[in-house]
């Protein structure tokens, strides 16, 4: 498939990162969100990311405007009509994603590929929303998208070989390393990673140590580059909870039950870096 124009739905933390790496690979991008404010914020974030790359010597200054010129923003779902490949990167809610997919299918070409950047939701179940579920594939990027090299390519029951290959090809084109994953709750990385984070929250909840000590223990004792609670703040505590809820629901196994403190923090709006406060306050004071 000759992919020239990539649609990205959702201009949040993941969506703007996906738009950035696609544009940096000289692909035209249509970034769609419901609000102009979200789109403006996304472009500002991309601009800041590119400035950081210029400052570090990873990007030539003249390349910044070339990359930004590849990104077109719109609040209109109809703007995606000419896209060859669309990546949905909305909130980790199956209801929201299904609504978006149903709306999307009414405007895009019959042979356009539809991918979802879900971290845990069934690709097969999302694909069933489409009249043609064969064109549905999972592309799970990791945060921050411009930095993290991995993309999980997830095949649903109906995903065709050609669609799976196209998603893999796109991942390589934008400088990522793809791994092939079967459709299963949490896929590979989050099935291992998020329960570990959840266990760290249980340790904090039980008062065994404070957040700084837990993170120092895993960095110095397990050679992790970042502690599990600081990582939860980076991922988004709401995303961690959503993944645990999917694992708990779909596996019917009590080992996947979300920690009470994890749910409490989401209820309190303490979602991590994106809200300014999670297990740490940004400036870096642990919540104990």
Q: Where are the domains of the chain?
A: 5-182, 191-278
Is 140 catalytic? The answer is yes
Q: CATH: 3.40.630.20, 3.40.50.720, 1.10.3720.10, 3.40.50.300. Which one for 5-182?
A: 3.40.50.720
How many other C-beta atoms are found inside a 10 Å radius of the C-beta of residue 134? 15
How many other C-beta atoms are found inside a 10 Å radius of the C-beta of residue 131? 9
Which member of 53, 117, 119, 198 is catalytic? 119
Does the structural domain 191-278 have CATH classification 1.10.3720.10? no
The β-bridge relationship of strands 136-141 and 150-155 is antiparallel
- Asked if residue 208 has pLDDT above 60, the reply is yes
Query: For the whole prediction, is pTM greater than 0.85?
Result: yes
Are 280 and 211 spatial neighbours (Cβ–Cβ below 8 Å)? yes
- % the chain with pLDDT above 70: 98
Is 119 catalytic? The answer is yes
Is 49 catalytic? The answer is no
Cα–Cα dist 245/249, whole Å: 6
Residue 195's SS3 state is: helix
Which member of 16, 92, 140, 198 is catalytic? 140
Q: What pLDDT digit, counting tens, does each position of 1-33 carry?
A: 678 999 999 999 999 999 999 999 999 999 999
Q: What pLDDT digit, counting tens, does each position of 66-111 carry?
A: 999 999 999 999 999 999 999 999 988 889 999 999 999 999 999 9
Count Cβ atoms within 10 A of the Cβ of residue 224 and give its class: 0-12 exposed, 13-18 middle, 19 or more buried. Answer: middle
Is 2 catalytic? The answer is no
Beta bridge partners of 140: 152
- Asked if residue 144 has pLDDT above 80, the reply is yes
Q: How confident is the model at residue 286 (pLDDT cuts 50, 70, 90)?
A: very low
Sheet hosting strand 28-32, strand order edge to edge: 71-74, 28-32, 5-9, 85-88, 113-116, 136-141, 150-155, 177-182
Q: How confident is the model at residue 251 (pLDDT cuts 50, 70, 90)?
A: very high
Mean pLDDT of 276-282: 95
Mean pLDDT computed over every residue of the chain: 95
pLDDT reported for residue 277: 96
* Radius of gyration of the chain measured on its C-alpha atoms: 19
- Asked if residue 155 has pLDDT above 70, the reply is yes
DSSP structure string for 211-248: HHHHHHHHHHHH--SS-HHHHHHHH-HHHHHHHHHHHH
């Amino acid at each position: 498939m000759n992919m020239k124009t990539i649609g990205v739905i959702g201009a949040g933390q993941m969506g703007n990162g996906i738009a950035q790496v696609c544009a940096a690979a000289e692909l035209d991008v249509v970034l769609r969100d419901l609000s102009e404010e979200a789109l403006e914020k996304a472009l500002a974030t991309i601009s800041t990311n590119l400035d950081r790359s210029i400052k570090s010597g990873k990007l030539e200054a003249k390349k910044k405007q070339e990359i930004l010129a590849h990104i077109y923003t719109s609040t209109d779902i109809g703007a995606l009509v000419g896209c060859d490949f669309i990546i949905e990167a909305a909130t980790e809610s199956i209801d929201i994603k299904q609504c978006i997919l149903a709306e999307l299918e009414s405007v895009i070409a019959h042979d356009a590929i539809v991918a979802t950047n879900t971290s845990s939701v069934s690709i097969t179940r999302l694909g069933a929303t489409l009249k043609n579920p064969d064109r549905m594939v999972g592309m799970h990027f990791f945060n921050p998208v411009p930095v993290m090299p991995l993309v999980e390519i997830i095949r649903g029951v109906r995903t065709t070989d050609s669609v799976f290959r196209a998603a893999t090809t796109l991942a390589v084109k934008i400088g990522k390393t793809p791994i092939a994953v079967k459709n299963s709750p949490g896929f590979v990385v989050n099935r291992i990673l998020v329960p570990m984070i959840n266990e760290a929250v249980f340790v904090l909840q039980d008062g065994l140590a404070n957040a700084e000590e837990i993170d120092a223990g895993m960095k110095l004792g397990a050679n992790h580059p970042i502690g599990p609670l600081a990582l939860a703040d980076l991922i988004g505590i709401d995303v961690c909870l959503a993944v645990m809820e999917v694992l708990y629901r779909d596996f019917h196994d009590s080992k996947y039950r979300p920690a009470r403190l994890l749910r409490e923090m989401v209820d309190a709006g303490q979602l991590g870096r994106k809200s300014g406060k999670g297990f740490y306050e940004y400036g870096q004071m642990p919540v104990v």
